[in-house]
Structure 1
Amino acid sequence: MKWICWLCLLLLSGCQQPLARNDAPVRVTEAAVDTSGGALRNLIDFSNRFQVHTRQDQLILCGEMRQSLSRDGDLWTGWYLATAISQVEGCGEPEEAITLINHLLEQRFVSRETGWLAYYQISLLQRQQRQRQQLSKAVAEQRRLEERLAQVAEAKRLLENQLRDLKHIETSINQRLDEKQQGTNPTVTKPAGATGR
């Protein structure tokens, strides 16, 4: 319980310095066993400093952390990258972040508190992953409905054109019939005063 209060206090404090692009996350080796909570403090500090940057700088930092991770293989850099992935769209996929955190959890030097936070972050990333899948399905369904709506609108336009043409043909036929009927109708009388001779 004291760790949760401590974490909340650190998250709410706004006095951290922003992460400079050339600031590398603090490297914690396996020899420095995570029992003092230093790794958690470093992660929370990184997260707070990372958030104050513009999206463009965040994406640049993601690329730099990815390069550092592939070069050095530092597990904590992997967790920092996983944290960045969960904070900014375009930094990476939730699956990648989950893999990075799981790789960290496989190590013996991870404390119980760090493990708890890692499992919590994994559950958030899995929820983010499900939401992305739902969003992808919704976007695909919206596209399908928009295409169907465009087809219906085109069919409506064609029907309106055909109806207009049919009305024009009907009007033309009615006029011809009226003209023909007036010219050959035996009940039509001549106007008064007209002579038949």
Structure 2
Amino acid sequence: MWVCHGWRPIYPAWQQEYRSRGLAELILEEYCDLKDEGVLGLVGSGNNGGDTLVALSYLAEKGWKASAYIVRPRPADDVLMQRLIRSGGVIHEIEKDKNQSGLIKTMQDHAILLDGVLGTGIRLPLKQNLAEILDFIRIEIQNELNPPIVVAVDCPSGIDCDSGESAPECIPANLTVTMAAMKSGLMKFPAFNLLGDLRVIGIGLPDEG
């Protein structure tokens, strides 16, 4: 159902549509009263970032206030970023926000934060620049009087999904939406303490039941 490009699995586009729509529908179901307050996606360069962009596009098409903050570089002609803009969403990029003042304001303007920066393939420790931005976000959330609801896409960014270890910069989630099946490391400590509520959604495989 997928091919391997280097170390990273490349999933068919229809699977991304399926799982991203499942993520969006879960947000619609759980947080329907937050439509106008909106959702901000923290977007990485890999599959999780792509899933987050597609989910944001679905939400924007449903009339939600939906924005993306690109934390790790994506191609300038990224079709998923273009799709979000066509759907009525807004794109912010860290490369154009040198002191992250735009990130602070954007976080304050949205009720839900989708954490789609890192996925299941990471190894700790995190690279310094990425660790610094995740820690910045974590501290800002911690210091907010009305912090956003954090929904982790597949896993909170900064968790090793094999060992269950977590980076000190990891952003704790209120809800983790994991794709296809439970990752073994998520059931181990300290990872388990960072998940919040846990939901599993399918990726469109015939044997998912």
Task: State the TM-score, normalized to the length of structure 1.
Answer: 0.26
More helix per residue: 1
Compare the two structures and name the one with the higher strand fraction.
2
Between Structure 1 and Structure 2, whose CA radius of gyration is higher? Answer: 1
Q: TM-score, normalised by structure 2?
A: 0.25
